[in-house]
Amino acid sequence: MNILELHHVQSITNKPGGYELDIHVTNTKGEVVEQKVMHATHLFLGAGSIGSPELLLKSICESKLKINNRNIGIQWGNNGNVMAGRNFVSGNTGISQSTIPIIAVDHWDDKKHPFFAEISLFPINMEVWTALYLVINKVPKLGSMSYGKDGLKLDWGKSNTKKMRKTTSYFINSLNKANIGTPAHMLFDKGVAEDICYHPLGGLTLGHSTNAYGALKGAKNLYVVDSSLIPGTIGVNPFLTITAIAEYCMENIIKNDFSNQPAKNEE
């Protein structure tokens, strides 16, 4: 297996026996230095919940890829991500802080305000009496993607995040009442920012865009093995779940789609 760095697939085209990939090779400044065409009999997409759906939608829009699948680009979400902050917290937040969250608040059992909040860090080696949180909410209204002459369009706005913002405000206000503090107005609007996304998910979801193990419906030998398989939200940092689903898909692809293929002769 070869790993080709700085290779950017521009489009996928149906060809007899497989797929043709139009590729731009760039330097580290993002400048295109070479164009390539590669071919694949079996194609696996792992560009994430933005990259994989966009590549398929773009290729379909340009009439290069022929797929009978109306579920490409659906059930996208930001994993309920909302950033929040508190200033002037009681006591202090400490000078020595980790660079990754190691403590969280599990509040899923609350039926009215369910959430999971990671305690984010502010590792700047000075006391600022400021606490940050990455709140993961349920996503009651999922978004979707489409592609046209203006490029990729993500149908996602305040109506998708309204409930998340309300739940996050409840969390911040509850902490301030119990531990003294104010919403971090200088950092975020009323201490809450729903216009962020750490964990994008969805766009090519299992059982809708694909079958039960990531084979894209309406296409032959084209598979998805990334975060776009998960519909919108999962409740925690999704990296381990993404890895587990990718491994599950690969095991089933090998079992169901490759097990009957004749083995190559080895000399």
Cα(261)–Cα(180) distance, rounded to whole angstroms? 66
pLDDT of residue 261: 58
Strand 43-45 to strand 144-148: parallel, antiparallel, or no bridges (unpaired)?
unpaired
pLDDT in tens, 146-202: 999 999 999 999 999 999 999 999 999 999 999 889 999 989 999 999 999 999 999
Q: Which residues of 44-73 are buried (b: 16+ CB within 10 A; e: fewer)?
A: bbebbbbbbbbbbbbbbbeebbebebebbb
Are 68 and 13 contained in the same domain? yes
pLDDT at 91 over 50: yes
State how far the Cα of 26 lies from the Cα of 14, in Å rounded to an integer: 25
Residue 25 belongs to domain spanning:
7-75+200-258
For the ranges 22-36, 49-63, 99-113, 148-162, which has the lowest average pLDDT? 99-113
Whether residue 234 is contained in a domain is answered as yes
pLDDT at 266: 38
| pLDDT on residue 114 | 96
Q: Is residue 265 part of a domain?
A: no
How many CB atoms are located within 10 Å of the residue 25 CB?
Answer: 15
The answer on 158 and 101 residing in a single domain is yes
Check whether residue 120 and residue 168 sit in a common domain.
yes
Residue 147 belongs to some domain of the structure: no
Task: Give the containing element (helix H, strand E) for 118.
Answer: strand 115-120
Q: What is the pLDDT of residue 263?
A: 47
| CATH label of the domain that carries residue 238 | 3.50.50.60
Average pLDDT, the chain: 92
Average pLDDT estimate for 76-82:
97
Domain count, the chain: 2
Under 8 Å CB-to-CB from 29, ≥6 apart: which residues? none
Judge whether 266 lies within some domain: no
User: Computed over its alpha carbons, how large is the radius of gyration of the chain?
Assistant: 22
Residue 135 lies in a domain: yes
The length of the chain is 267
Q: What is the pLDDT of residue 125?
A: 80
Q: Does any domain span residue 2?
A: no
pLDDT of residue 267: 36
**Per mean pLDDT, which range of 24-33, 47-56, 59-68, 93-102 is the poorest?**
93-102
User: 133: domain CATH number?
Assistant: 3.30.410.10
DSSP string, 119-152: EE---SSS---EEEEEEEE--SS-BEEEEETTEE
Q: Are 201 and 79 in contact (CB under 8 A)?
A: yes
Is 161 found in the same domain as 136?
Answer: yes
Structure token digits, residue 56: 């398929």
Catalytic residues: 118, 199
Percentage with pLDDT > 70 across the chain: 97
Residue 265 has pLDDT above 70, yes or no: no
Residue 42 domain-assigned (yes or no)? yes
Assess contact for 181 and 91: CB atoms under 8 A.
no
